Amino acid sequence: MKIALGSDHAGYDLKQMLKSVLDELKIEYDDLGTHDTISCDYSDYAIMVSEKVASGEYDRGILICGTGIGMCIASNKVKGVRAALVENIYSARLTREHNNTNVLCIGGRVVGPEIAKEIVKIWLGTEFIGGKHERRVGKITAYENKI
């Protein structure tokens, strides 16, 4: 599995901490920015990471901004992306099992570092269960391909 990481200035510190989780899990990743805490636009990084996930260059993406909301909105504008804003472990598991998400969004000012680490571990370690959920995700994809 190969992960694309992205953040704005508000998510930078949490992104740096989450790299240790990926290292611990021996998951390959690239940090696509930002590379400091100077104010920048979350949408630039959300779109960059999401396009690379949608193209298949990366298997999944992780995006962090202040609340995670902006990243999630921007990410979901990219065709082929199913991004979810996750603030708890239960949602981290279900967003993979039921929604087959390929981009995880976290709020660096909302979610504490220890919970964020657990969210990432659960999200990366959970597979899509298919079944009735395959049909539901398929309907979303069909609509996306129509517009």
Tell how far CA 123 is from the center of its chain: 9
List 40, 65, 72, 105, catalytic entry: 65
The token pair that represents 119 in the structure block: 């969210």
Count the Cβ atoms, other than its own, within 10 Å of residue 17.
16
**65 catalytic, yes or no?**
yes
**98 catalytic, yes or no?**
yes
The token pair that represents 9 in the structure block: 């200035």
Can you spell out the DSSP letters for 2-64?
EEEEEE-TTTHHHHHHHHHHHHHTT-EEEE-S--SSS---HHHHHHHHHHHHHTTSSSEEEEE
List 9, 35, 40, 98, catalytic entry: 98
**Residue 48 phi, psi (nearest 5):** -60, -50
Distance CA 147, CA 129 (A): 27
What amino acid positions are annotated as catalytic residues? 65, 98
